[in-house]
Amino acid sequence: AQSVTQLDSHVSVSEGTPVLLRCNYSSSYSPSLFWYVQHPNKGLQLLLKYTSAATLVKGINGFEAEFKKSETSFHLTKPSAHMSDAAEYFCVVSDLAAGNKLTFGGGTRVLVKP
Amino acid sequence: GAGVSQTPSNKVTEKGKYVELRCDPISGHTALYWYRQSLGQGPEFLIYFQGTGAADDSGLPNDRFFAVRPEGSVSTLKIQRTERGDSAVYLCASSLSGPNTGELFFGEGSRLTVL
């Protein structure tokens, strides 16, 4: 069965400093992996996705993530945080064994301090 | 409309009552999904429609939950004999084709509170 673990429920960073959100996954097959962002009172939005092409994936708003099969990780990073990055972030896995259903992690809430 | 629309945005009901939540997907999207997000948790899959038919309803927690999509567009999630544990945000999403691309477009959700 597929599953996702987000290692930090909350992350606090200062504006202009790097952001790292950690994600580990479990999957029986070659997975597809995604990061979604949820701003307050807004719908979930896709940030980026990995589907077995390049292991370093670039997304919107300066975010990127690296797929590391040996570590079963898909950490999300951004070199310089903006105030507008304050939101909840979800790591998501999908594989054939689960009928390609999306399985979400528990989420990481990001606070950006001025 | 431009995005996925869900109504009502908030619903407060009493234990034992019947509730309907509506989802209007992006025009032209054949796939529609319902997820449930409890406080402090990630969304959990409920059901997925491809066109008018439920392609996968394995996430529905019990037979009190039912969803329809009679014309392949708008969908309604129906909950009978609501319980306090049903309190959550119910999210609807749509996509152009099936779930394997992962690019789902989500609505803002319907927050259900069962007293």
pLDDT, tens only, A18-65: 999 999 999 877 888 999 999 988 889 999 999 877 889 999 999 999
Nearest to A41 among B3, B35, B108 (CB): B108
Please tell me the predicted confidence (pLDDT) of residue A43.
86
Please tell me the predicted confidence (pLDDT) of residue B47.
94
Q: Give the pair of three-digit tokens for residue A101.
A: 């259903």
Mean pLDDT of B44-62: 92
For residue A83, the 8-state DSSP code is G
B28 and A CB contact within 8 Å:
no
pLDDT tens for A54-90 read: 889 999 999 999 999 999 999 999 999 999 999 999 9
d(C-alpha A1, C-alpha A37), whole Å: 24
For residue A28, the 8-state DSSP code is S
| Whole-angstrom Cα Rg for chain B | 13
**For residue B39, is pLDDT > 70?**
yes
Chain B nearest-CA residue for A107: B42
C-alpha torsion sign, points B106, B55, A104, B43:
positive
CA-based nearest distance B83→chain A, Å: 23
d(C-alpha A57, C-alpha A106), whole Å: 22
Phi then psi for residue A21, to 5 deg, are -115, 125
Mean pLDDT of B86-98: 91
**For residue B1, is pLDDT > 60?**
no
Please tell me the predicted confidence (pLDDT) of residue B100.
61
Please tell me the predicted confidence (pLDDT) of residue A95.
74
**For residue B98, is pLDDT > 70?**
no
**For residue B71, is pLDDT > 70?**
yes
Please tell me the predicted confidence (pLDDT) of residue A40.
86
Distance of CA A82 to the CA centre of its chain: 17
A51 and B CB contact within 8 Å:
yes
Confidence bin at B96 (pLDDT 50/70/90): confident
Q: Give the pair of three-digit tokens for residue A10.
A: 């909350």
Q: Give the pair of three-digit tokens for residue A9.
A: 């429920």
Mean per-residue pLDDT of chain B: 92
A112 contacts A81 by C-beta, under 8 angstroms: yes
**For residue B111, is pLDDT > 80?**
yes
Q: Could you identify the residue written with the tokens 């306090």?
A: B84
Please tell me the predicted confidence (pLDDT) of residue A28.
75
CB pairs under 8 A between A and B: 62
Ranges assigned E (strand) in B14-100? 19-24, 31-37, 44-50, 53-56, 65-68, 75-79, 88-95
**For residue B89, is pLDDT > 90?**
yes
